[in-house]
Amino acid sequence: MEPLVDIIIEDQRWNGIDLPALAERAALAVFEDQGLDPALFEVSLLACDDARIAVLNGEFRDKPKPTNVLSWPAEDLAAEDEGARPDAPEPFLPDERESIGDIAIAWETCQREAEEGQKPLADHVTHLIVHGILHLLGYDHVREGDALLMEGTEIRVLDRMGISDPYDM
């Protein structure tokens, strides 16, 4: 089967942590948690540096500074009611994988945050990929009820992967 995550590695430092394996494992865990068939959907991931993500953050969020992860959902699946689970994506063509969207992740910010939080880099990157994929699936953290749902989902997925609660500080 084709990989669930299509990756473009712009910054070669990402090769040092086997990003394709981390991303695939994270995507499969999210899809399993959400009851989605990985044969029907895919995710695109850009592994870049802070300079590139700052440009993207400026273009798409009017915040021209580095951030850890950005996401661009293919469709708006967000729930209308605060704290409600988002709608599930539906495949458009029966024999082709449907993209649920794109994610970008920045090397320097991820590395710095992992060091500051005293977390293994691979665990922190896995958390950010799970976080980004949940955004693609309509989860958000702007409203309090939505944030509680999203964080609870992240914690559950990561726990099943053997990664401790990233919000437990």
Three-state SS for 132? helix
Eight-class DSSP state of 49: -
CA 163 to chain centre: 15
Q: Is 141 annotated as a binding residue?
A: yes
Q: Is 127 annotated as a binding residue?
A: no
Q: Is 135 annotated as a binding residue?
A: yes
Q: Cα 95–101–106 angle (5° rounding)?
A: 135
Distance CA 140, CA 126 (A): 18
Q: Which residue numbers belong to the known binding site for Zn(2+)?
A: 131, 135, 141
Q: Which residue numbers belong to the known binding site?
A: 131, 135, 141
